[in-house]
């Protein structure tokens, strides 16, 4: 069987050696070359024709983001970013995902030995997944700001006030490729859309910046969820990385619980945790949506939502970066509808209009 050919790009000789050693632990992966900067990498790409590239963010002569933009425009290849998760690099990594990178792996920092052990499995899994992923070109308009929101009173925080609504709550789960899929879905909503709750698999350092980035693009308000936040029309709550998020209902008032609970399906936050709570607490007053992602997280929870009377949607294979989570949900009989990414936002908006 042909092994997956990998090119490593990093300005640190130590990191190039480490990444090569970690990737070589997998029998189906082969590091065919390593480069210290994008200029050297460009020649190696043409010679070695790798299946996947691992790319550092901070490099001399040309940074990883500038190189990624050129690569996706002229010679698109699956890319896994390897980055130190500083606050600045989190913003940069989100930009890389907008440009078409498949995923991000964190470099080990404080506990180097323990960090390397944790990194190895994640790196191998994400490189394997990238080899079979669909390449997305840089998202058009990804850096644009949102259209002007209609004038309306702003709520001073989401934790207070007995706000009541009979409209559906929309719960969305996503993983690999989900940052851009969510951008496309959420930017379709008008400012008075139903309340939305989102689980996107990503590191803890990413979710606040991810929510802020979406908030700049959407007519709805988007923020990282805090324990006790109300689920309100015109707002989307993003589950914070490293915590589990679930829905709590008291009469007609819905809020979220953010808890330091164990991983489910190896994920924290887990889509299954969110969806299962929607099935219990909301029943037919919820809509469940599962988007692109690796693995099977969310399939069982979406089936529980459907069985409880909720309307459920899975993204179709052709529009997924990785058709893992939606495939498992469809196979489990969890999806009422299977729609392309371009259809999902408009379908949710139309459904909200009918139920208003």
Catalytic residues: 175, 201, 297
Strand order of the β-sheet with 103-106 is 29-35, 4-9, 52-56, 79-83, 103-106
Residues 6 or more apart whose CB falls under 8 angstroms from that of 113 comprise none
Question: What phi and psi values does residue 53 have, to the nearest 5 degrees?
Answer: -120, 135
Look at residue 16 and give its three-state secondary structure: helix
For residue 269, say if its preceding peptide bond is cis, omega within 30 degrees of 0. yes
- The three-class DSSP label of residue 65 is helix
Count CB neighbours of 30 within 10 A: 16
Place of tokens 């099935």: 279
Instruction: Strands of 17-160 (E only): list them.
Output: 29-35, 52-56, 79-83, 103-106
- H/E segment holding residue 89: helix 87-99
Q: Is 334 in contact with 314 (CB distance < 8 Å)?
A: yes
Distance CA 197, CA 312 (A): 14
Task: Tell me whether strands 221-224 and 337-339 are parallel, antiparallel or unpaired.
Answer: unpaired
């Amino acid at each position: 069987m042909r092994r997956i050919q990998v090119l490593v790009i990093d300005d640190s000789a130590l990191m190039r050696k480490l990444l090569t050693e970690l990737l070589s632990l997998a029998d189906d992966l082969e590091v065919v070359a390593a480069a210290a900067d994008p200029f050297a990498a460009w020649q190696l790409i043409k010679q070695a024709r790798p299946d996947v590239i691992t790319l550092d963010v901070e490099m001399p002569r040309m940074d990883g983001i500038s190189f990624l933009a050129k690569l996706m425009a002229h010679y698109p290849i699956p890319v896994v970013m390897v980055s130190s998760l500083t606050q600045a690099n989190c913003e940069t990594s989100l930009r890389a995902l907008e440009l078409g990178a498949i995923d991000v792996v964190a470099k080990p920092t404080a506990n180097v030995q323990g960090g390397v052990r944790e990194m190895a499995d994640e790196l191998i899994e994400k490189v394997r997944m990238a080899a079979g992923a669909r390449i997305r070109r840089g998202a058009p308009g990804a850096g644009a700001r949102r259209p002007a929101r209609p004038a309306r009173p702003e709520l001073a925080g989401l934790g207070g006030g007995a706000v009541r609504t009979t409209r559906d709550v929309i719960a969305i789960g996503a993983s690999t490729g989900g940052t851009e899929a969510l951008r496309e879905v959420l930017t379709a909503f008008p400012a008075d859309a139903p309340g939305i709750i989102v689980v996107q698999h990503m590191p803890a350092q990413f979710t606040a910046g991810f929510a802020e980035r979406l908030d700049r693009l959407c007519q709805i308000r988007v923020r990282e969820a805090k324990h006790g936040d109300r689920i309100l029309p015109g707002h989307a709550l993003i589950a914070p990385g490293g915590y589990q998020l679930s829905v709590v209902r008291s009469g007609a008032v819905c809020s979220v619980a953010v808890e330091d609970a164990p991983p489910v399906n190896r994920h924290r936050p887990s889509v299954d945790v969110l969806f299962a709570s929607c099935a219990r607490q909301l029943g037919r007053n919820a809509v469940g949506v599962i988007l692109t992602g690796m693995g099977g997280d969310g399939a069982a929870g979406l089936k529980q939502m459907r069985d409880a009377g909720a309307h459920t949607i899975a993204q179709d294979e052709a529009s997924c970066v990785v058709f893992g989570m939606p495939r498992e949900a469809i196979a489990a009989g969890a999806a009422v509808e299977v729609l392309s990414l371009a259809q999902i936002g408009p379908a949710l908006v139309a459904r909200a209009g009918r139920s208003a």
